[in-house]
Amino acid sequence: MADASDPAADQNPKNAGAHMPDPWAGSNGETAEEEYEYEEVDEDELDGPGAAAVEREKVQSVFRRLSSNPVEIRVHDVIIRGNAKTKEQLIEAEAADILRAATTVQDLLQAATVASARLRELDVFDAVNITLDAGPPELPGTTNVVIEVVEATSAITGNAGVFTKPEAKSWSLEGALKLKNLAGYADIWDASVGYGWDQTSEVGVGVSVPRFKSIPTPLMARASLMSQDWLKFSSYKEHLLGLSLGLLSTRNHNLSYNLTWRMLTDPSQLASKSIRRQLGHNLLSAMKYTYKIDQRDSRLRPTRGYAFQSASQIGGLWDSKGLKFFRQEFDVRAAVPFGFYNAALNVGLGAGVILPLGRGFMDSSTPVTDRFNLGGHSSPVCSLGGISSLLGFRTRGVGPTEARRVVPGESDTVPGNDYLGGDLAVSAFADLSFDLPLKAFKDAGIHGHAFLTAGNVAKLSEGQYKNFSLDEFRRSFRSTAGVGIILPTKLFRVEVNYCYILKQAQHDSGKTGIQFSFSSPQ
């Protein structure tokens, strides 16, 4: 029996069982002459080194044949073992079909590698082993493929942690619990909870099924209850009760439907006029399609490759209180290695636009919660999906603003501004990462970087497109430069950066100095 995951075992006839010579036969069932040239040697009469030399020569002979010409073979049967709970039809659909389609030994070995990767990606097996055995003696040129899986010893997994959000000067407590393979279809049921002091809380439950019976695409459903506090930035609190359904999910494509009930409130009673117009509750029905390619060698520290993502969303499929809009985002990334000190240059460009739909759409308003915002301290290298963060600026600290309400008799001064977000946004960054000279840092993965970020956001809705100028938009780009030290972990990367504001507008909230950030790859 030959193990498909072991290259030496794949090529070693002695490991394949008594009938292994048959699969290497030609299409007429006659075995190649070179496979019998060692039969005259009595291996019992050879000493240890001599027998080992004969064995090595046999293996090398098989290597030569596999590397020179395709060796025809036919899969007679696929045998599945070890699946006490997992449905056999699931393993058949994920792995057996691709194995049966192989017509040569070379194709079969490649198919076994792909099938093993597919089964491991289901995240319900501790181990996957695919071996090739000889087929029936009466059927030369055939093989049996044995798929042996080891199901996860524990069906329940969980994690918890405390995470900092420096841009909001707050901390959050987050935890998640997963129940795997409950129905035997590699289904994963999860429950999560997050609580951020004075800012955000979220409770969610969901289920994902990679393949259910004859349905070829994964199924996903999730319900969540979330509360977000934006009083410090835009004078409103947001409460959401949502249901998300995954309609299509492949390696590059994702189509989902979201139904969300949203409530915006202003406990401070100081919101600007633009924010007050959107207070209250509404029902958002939206369809979202995402196309994604990510060929980078790492998401935490890319050193080569490229990535691209496009996300299109149509909101207001049911007419509801001004929530009819179209939102489009693009994000492209590239990483180029330099060949010294593990240095690499990462560059990225993101752009997005949101437009209201309906009669007189350009004079209508877009939902403030769906507009684009610039700022924040998260790493632009890790994120992929649209507008990247603008280091050195406060969360939502860039773009159009409006003065908050003045309460008569209480104060004659304006209590700050609300950041409204924009309908058009562009961001770009360049990040040069490199190893530090100390060996201890290099062994721990701690490295340095120098960066330059830039971006701008503008309002187009409510008739503001009439005042938009491309030249003025280009001239008013905000920008930041800086250096920092990066401490990577398995889940996220920690950055200690010194940011220097190169350019900002009058009401922007940017500050030169030391900033900390915790970034997770997306």
- Mean pLDDT (whole number) for 43-58: 63
Q: How confident is the model at residue 232 (pLDDT cuts 50, 70, 90)?
A: confident
Name the average pLDDT for the chain: 80
The per-residue pLDDT for 506 is: 85
3-state secondary structure 121-134: HCCCEEEEEEEEEE
Q: Does residue 484 surpass a pLDDT of 90?
A: yes
| Least confident segment among 51-65, 350-364, 433-447 | 51-65
Q: Do residues 429 and 452 touch, judged by C-beta distance below 8 A? A: yes
HSE at residue 310, side-chain half, CA atoms within 13 A, is: 4
List all residues 6 or more positions away from 330 whose beta carbon is below 8 Å from its beta carbon: 308, 309, 310, 350, 351, 352, 386
Q: Does residue 478 surpass a pLDDT of 90?
A: yes
More confident residue, 192 or 292: 292
Token output for 192: 């999560």
pLDDT digits (tens, 9 = 90+) for 207-226: 888 877 666 677 889 898 88
Q: Do residues 302 and 345 touch, judged by C-beta distance below 8 A? A: no
CA pair distance 56, 95, nearest whole angstrom = 32
The per-residue pLDDT for 520 is: 65
More confident residue, 156 or 9: 156
| Least confident segment among 50-64, 108-122, 452-466 | 50-64
The per-residue pLDDT for 362 is: 74
Q: Does residue 434 surpass a pLDDT of 90?
A: yes
HSE at residue 306, side-chain half, CA atoms within 13 A, is: 4
The per-residue pLDDT for 334 is: 95
Could you tell me which of 233, 334, 246 has the C-alpha nearest to residue 290? Answer: 246
pLDDT digits (tens, 9 = 90+) for 72-108: 888 888 888 888 888 888 888 888 888 888 888 888 8
pLDDT digits (tens, 9 = 90+) for 120-173: 888 888 899 988 888 888 888 888 888 999 888 888 887 765 554 443 444 567
Q: How confident is the model at residue 45 (pLDDT cuts 50, 70, 90)?
A: low
The per-residue pLDDT for 455 is: 94
pLDDT digits (tens, 9 = 90+) for 286-326: 999 999 999 998 888 899 999 999 999 998 877 555 578 99
Sign of the alpha-carbon dihedral angle for 226, 230, 231, 237: negative
CA pair distance 98, 189, nearest whole angstrom = 28
- Mean pLDDT (whole number) for 327-336: 95
- Mean pLDDT (whole number) for 433-461: 91
Q: How confident is the model at residue 23 (pLDDT cuts 50, 70, 90)?
A: very low
The per-residue pLDDT for 131 is: 87
Q: What is the pTM of this model?
A: 0.72
What percent of the chain stands above pLDDT 70?
80
**Token pair 């972990």: residue:** 489
Q: Do residues 1 and 17 touch, judged by C-beta distance below 8 A? A: yes
Tell me which range, 355-359, 490-494, 503-507, 514-518, is most confidently predicted by mean pLDDT: 503-507
The DSSP H or E segment spanning 7 is helix 7-11
Q: Do residues 183 and 89 touch, judged by C-beta distance below 8 A? A: no
Sign of the alpha-carbon dihedral angle for 465, 406, 200, 484: positive
